[in-house]
Structure 1
Amino acid sequence: MAVYVDDMQAPFGRMKMCHMVADSTEELLAMADRIGVARRWLQKAGTWQEHFDIALSKRRLAVEAGAIEVSRMDLGRLLRARRGR
């Protein structure tokens, strides 16, 4: 089981954002709690597209806490594989 962060840098106000996903909801929420991301920001909860959009500062904290860095393309592959399950 793992948590993943992609390399997207989408502008959102003054911030740059990326995606954070995990192999399970429990892992995703545990990482969000650990890095200080509010659970209410969970997007598409309960679907194969479940994720958080996180600021790059939170991405750095997630990587320090063990998240795996992947490209946007790799993240897309992970999500599509999950869709088929």
Structure 2
Amino acid sequence: MLTYTAKSWEDSPGARGGYRTPLFSVPDHFRMTRGTNRCLRVASAMFPGMGTSVHGVASSGHEIDLVDDTFLTLMLPLRG
């Protein structure tokens, strides 16, 4: 059975951090780039019977280092 979730974060005046909330795993390093109108959107589809998941990430800009010895991760950037 397919499970779908979508989470988002948008920067606002006075907002401190919180941009890690939509992430689907714990990265070794994650930082939003500086700028205005920063945002992060993550959509996830889980296929439990197959042990597979697909994630779509859209952001205004970020740096990330993934470290996971358990899963194979393929990243296909559309821009940037």
Q: Greater share of strand residues, 1 or 2?
A: 2
Q: TM-score of the superposition, structure 2-length normalised?
A: 0.29
Q: Which has the larger radius of gyration?
A: 2
Q: TM-score, normalised by structure 1?
A: 0.28
Higher helix content, 1 or 2: 1
